[in-house]
Amino acid sequence: MKQNHIIENYTALKEKTPSNINIVAVSKYQTVEDIKTLYDYGVRDFGENKVQDLVKKYELLPKDIRWHIIGHLQTNKIKFIAPFVYTIQSLDSIKVAKEINKQSQKHDRVIPCFLQIHIAEEESKFGFTPEEISNFIAEKYTFSEFKNIEISGIMTMATNTKDKNQISKEFELAYNIYQNYKKLMPQINKLSMGMTSDYEIAIQNNSNLIRIGSLIFKK
């Protein structure tokens, strides 16, 4: 059965989002049928945060879907997504980079990866700290030893708060880091920030990729 509310939600979002901004539909709590509804409408970019769910959905859905992984990766699970994942948005440690590189080499691929930056207050959020990234930049560290990884973006999450000023400040910081790193690595061209609750603030702060789940799939 066609789930028209999904298409309506998506279309409404698309209409109010500037056309240069990529939308990744975060399908982590959604059924294969609901994802297929959006796929049939023409959407190709989907995001999942768990390897097991991603693999299951990959197997059941059309193979031209561009799957983004947006959740923390355990190194022992990277091998399961390496053959097909489109972008890893949650590269959050050198250890993870090493393993992605090793697995993508096995499949003769170069996997696009975003560096996840931890800016939010919550301890539970993964990622490099702004200080770590500043050090990378100061040391002109470009991850170039990982031949099978292409660092193509920065991803971050803001603190889960109602304080719009704080969210805005965090996104502004991410944008600054993005710009600074881009000077060293010009191939970085994606700034992934903004979810249902804060994507408008993210866009005001120069996000060019938003990751939207509940707003698209809500009934």
Ligand X SMILES: *Cc1c(COP(=O)(O)O)cnc(C)c1O
| Footprint on this chain of ligand X (rule: CB under 6 A) | 26, 28, 49, 70-71, 157, 195-197, 211-215
Q: Name the token pair of 95.
A: 């250890």
How many residues in total does the chain contain?
A: 219
CB of 140 to ligand X, least distance (A): 29
Of the pair 36, 68, the CB lying nearest ligand X is at 68
Of the pair 26, 185, the CB lying nearest ligand X is at 26
Of the pair 54, 157, the CB lying nearest ligand X is at 157
Q: How far is CA 152 from CA 89, 130, 143, in A?
A: 9, 18, 11
Using CA atoms, how far apart are residues 120 and 155, in angstroms rounded to an integer? 12
CB of 106 to ligand X, least distance (A): 26
Residue nearest ligand X, Cβ-based: 213
Helices (H), 66-144: 78-81, 94-106, 130-138
Q: Regarding beta strands 190-192 and 22-26, do their DSSP bridges make them parallel or antiparallel, or are they unpaired?
A: unpaired
CB of 48 to ligand X, least distance (A): 9
CB of 28 to ligand X, least distance (A): 5
Of the pair 104, 116, the CB lying nearest ligand X is at 116
CB of 195 to ligand X, least distance (A): 4
Of the pair 56, 147, the CB lying nearest ligand X is at 56
Q: At what angle do helices 32-41 and 51-60 cross, to 10 degrees?
A: 60
Q: Name the token pair of 9.
A: 């939600």
Using CA atoms, how far apart are residues 177 and 129, in angstroms rounded to an integer? 11
Using CA atoms, how far apart are residues 108 and 129, in angstroms rounded to an integer? 31
